[in-house]
Amino acid sequence: MTTAETPPTILCVDDDLEVLGAMARILVRDGYRVLTASRPAEALKLLAEVRIAVMVSDFDMPEMDGVQLAVRSMQLQPETTRVMVTGRRDVATALAGINVAEVFRFLHKPFEVDLLRREVAAAVAHHLATSAIAVERGTVARRQQMIAALEHEHPGISLVARDQSGAYLVDGDAARLLGGALAPLVALAAAHR
């Protein structure tokens, strides 16, 4: 996972070494950690070894096309945001990328430098947001497991009752368990009513 403190890792994939080098130089200047691959097999090896925030991939490559690579990248790192670069202008390529490979953005070759920079920045922001959501989902799942385990050991422990003002109501069992520790809380709650 990429955090706001670490430079995001961008994987650029293109069999055209001039385009690959240009993309890498542009993105390094923007502060990203950039890895390059001139073949899809190299890209898949990197995806298996390194956490990638954004993959910028050409569509037309030997071995497999960009959509096939994006699908494989989803299997290795579903959280990686995918950007496709293509010289094609047909709708079928775009639809396959979006519907099959969940490509975030498309860039047409030749692309403007500023457009590449903007789209990669948007892809990084998307990656950070989706990563934060995934972390939060994990936290919620762990919390739910903990509550379920506590509820199993102590039936009723997760049931919470509140009065009309929203204050927690403590049942007799809890009051007995807490004993005198509740007195200051009860007095404080009464003072604020």
The pLDDT mean for the chain works out to 83
- Mean pLDDT is highest, among 22-36, 56-70, 178-192, for 22-36
Asked if pLDDT for residue 18 goes beyond 90, the answer is: yes
How far is Cα 193 from Cα 24, in angstroms, rounded to an integer?
Answer: 63
Residue scoring higher pLDDT (11 or 99)? 11
The token pair that represents 16 in the structure block: 């055209």
| β-pairing verdict for 81-86 and 161-162 | unpaired
pTM for this entry: 0.70
Query: CA torsion angle for 35, 38, 130, 110 (degrees, to 10)?
Result: 110
Asked if pLDDT for residue 16 goes beyond 70, the answer is: yes
Q: Which residues contact 95 (CB under 8 A, 6 or more apart)?
A: none
Asked if pLDDT for residue 11 goes beyond 80, the answer is: yes
Angle between helices 113-153 and 17-29 (to 10 degrees): 70
Residue scoring higher pLDDT (24 or 149)? 24
pLDDT at 65: 86
DSSP SS3 for 170: coil
Which residues are paired to 85 by β-bridges? 58, 107
The residue behind tokens 């950007």 is 83
Residue scoring higher pLDDT (26 or 159)? 26
Question: What are 88-129's pLDDT values in tens digits?
Answer: 766 666 666 665 668 898 888 888 999 999 999 999 999 999
Q: Under CATH, which number does the domain 9-137 receive?
A: 3.40.50.2300
End-to-end CA distance of the chain: give it in Å, rounded: 47
The token pair that represents 184 in the structure block: 């200051």
The residue behind tokens 């079928």 is 92
Residue scoring higher pLDDT (41 or 159)? 41
pLDDT category, 145, cuts 50, 70, 90? confident
Q: Which residues contact 86 (CB under 8 A, 6 or more apart)?
A: 58, 59, 60, 66, 93, 106, 107, 108, 109
pLDDT at 21: 96
Parts of the chain belonging to CATH 3.40.50.2300: 9-137
